[in-house]
Amino acid sequence: MNEFTRSILLLLVLLNPFLVIVYLIDIVQKLDNKQFRRVLVRAGLISCVAFCSFAVLGDRIFSDVFQIRFASFQLFGGIVFLLIGLQFVFRGPTAIEILRGESKHIAGAIAMPVLIGPGTISASVVIGKRNDILISCASIIVAVMLCILVLVFLKFLHDVIRQKREELIERYFDLAGRITALFVGSVAIEMIMAGVKSWLNLHWS
């Protein structure tokens, strides 16, 4: 497997459209297919610009631009993820709507924090280190496009099934949202521990 394919898979696994569709259930139910596609494309463009920027600039974007250590970003990102996971445990899929708020710019709200998160930003930095600029950006764009295509298909599937099995769909998303909390919480703890380890290495090395 070449680096281009590996980079696509790395980012696609972290974007995880099957997980994202649970985050977006309120939007899936409110918007029709055309509106949903338009919003997703805008969110995808915002995400591509952000991911490519981190891939090109790498760790320097933290040290030179934001003047912070990458370990600090990992710690804060882990805490944010942990809060989202806890909200999912107690509230189910409606948690992301509460955290995201009623934004007039839905595309931006989807891009951040649903697509652009600590995990995907870290992956973009790794992809930038593995490949040259063109390959890095191309792999990021392909991964985001694949994620959007899967989300559009899942939205279509949801609308078809919901007409006949609405109660079943609602139960599935509620259960999936709470199971998702276990994954999100685990990733959050891993990020916090990685941040602590990096921070200690910087101070004790």
CA-to-CA distance for 47 and 115, rounded, in angstroms?
Answer: 7
Say yes or no to pLDDT of 205 above 70.
Answer: no
Say yes or no to pLDDT of 47 above 90.
Answer: yes
119 or 203, which is more confident? 119
Q: What is the pLDDT of residue 141?
A: 96
99 or 139, which is more confident? 139
CA 132 to centroid of chain Cα atoms: 23
Q: What is the pLDDT of residue 150?
A: 92
CB atoms within 10 A of CB 204: 6
Say yes or no to pLDDT of 134 above 90.
Answer: yes
Lowest-pLDDT range, 65-74, 85-94, 100-109, 122-131?
A: 100-109
Q: Which of 22, 17, 176, 47 is nearest to 109 (CA)?
A: 47
Q: What is the band of 138 on the pLDDT scale with cuts at 50, 70, 90?
A: very high
Lowest-pLDDT range, 20-24, 74-78, 183-187?
A: 183-187
CA-to-CA distance for 41 and 47, rounded, in angstroms?
Answer: 10
Contact assessment for residue 82 and residue 182, using Cβ atoms and an 8 Å cutoff = no
